[in-house]
Amino acid sequence: METLVCNFHPVVTNLLIFRKPPSPRIFFHQECIISSGKQNSRRTLRMAQAAQNPVVQRKVVIPNKYGEKLVGVLHETESPEIVILCHGFRSSKGDNTMVNLAVALENEKISAFRFDFAGNGESEGSFEFGNYFREADDLHAVIQHFSGANRIISAILGHSKGGNVVLLYASKYHDIHMVVNVSGRYDLTKGIEERLGKDFMQRIKEDGFFDVQDKKGGVNYRVTQESLMDRLCINMHEACLQIPKECRVLTIHGSADEVIPVQDAFEFAKIIPNHKLQIIEGADHCYTSHQTELASVVLDYIKASLQENKDTTI
């Protein structure tokens, strides 16, 4: 068991600090995406052998339990195993981290599926501020779809809010044996004031809702009292205690995360029994300059776990 002492926290077992550069066979490809009349630059992970191993990417639509259509992209390598990728708050399957991880997996001949939760991206439904367990139910619909197609769900991975969703999924549905939590939040009562303002609770009590505006003064999204309480009532500590010991959990966090403090990762490490913690030095919340390091950590963990499973079944 690996141990490293950090000067800002007591000793946590099974902790690694990622400082070394990843394998040189991974590099970034710059491509342009045109969206809403604006030209946005997207960095997409590519590997040297990608051209020699073309992978089919196709859109898949899966209904959730509420009858809403969830839209995703399957990176099909014909592997029996598949990794499900879950985006964060007000994000989508097209987020750089989701795309980069899917490409990294596909180039290791591991199929990946990235999808939009209901109310996000191309999926049907209305966006809600909370919806943590409802998004876990969306994930369940996706897992049932691929399990029904005789695919092996080797891991579920979520970034930011998606990290919370995959942990909540593991605590509710005991049918997954590997979870990767990338920068999830330990205390869901935190981080709201920074997003909604100091008087958010008073305004919601008075009006029953709170409109979050964009820079131009338009309504970006609405926070209702019900959706706010949906978040405030979730206790991640209690939920994580319900994750079976047979389920492996990897938590990855950037040491320079400006949205969710890195200390949250250490809190998860304290309570999840079958847990490994990986800190990526200098990485921010979106791993803006550390996409390659993130992909390397994820790939190493998933491939090692898959190999260990094969060795134990021989």
Domains of the chain: 3-185+245-313 (3.40.50.1820), 189-233 (no CATH)
**Mean predicted lDDT score pLDDT of the chain:** 85
What is the per-residue pLDDT across 167-177, written as a single tens digit (0 to 9) for each? 999 999 999 99
The tokens describing 172, both together, are 């509710």
Residue 41, pLDDT > 80, answer no
What is the reported pLDDT for 212? 84
The helix (H) or strand (E) run that includes residue 156 is: strand 152-159
Average pLDDT over residues 191-197: 85
Neighbours of 141 (CB within 10 A): 17
What is the reported pLDDT for 51? 41
Distance of alpha carbon 160 from alpha carbon 89, whole angstroms: 7
Q: What confidence category does residue 242 fall into, taking pLDDT thresholds of 50, 70 and 90?
A: very high
Q: What confidence category does residue 25 fall into, taking pLDDT thresholds of 50, 70 and 90?
A: very low
Residue 48, pLDDT > 60, answer no
What is the per-residue pLDDT across 137-147, written as a single tens digit (0 to 9) for each? 999 999 999 99
Distance of alpha carbon 283 from alpha carbon 84, whole angstroms: 23
Global confidence as pTM: 0.84
What is the per-residue pLDDT across 66-111, written as a single tens digit (0 to 9) for each? 999 999 999 999 999 999 999 999 999 999 999 999 999 999 999 9
What is the reported pLDDT for 37? 36
The tokens describing 113, both together, are 């599926």
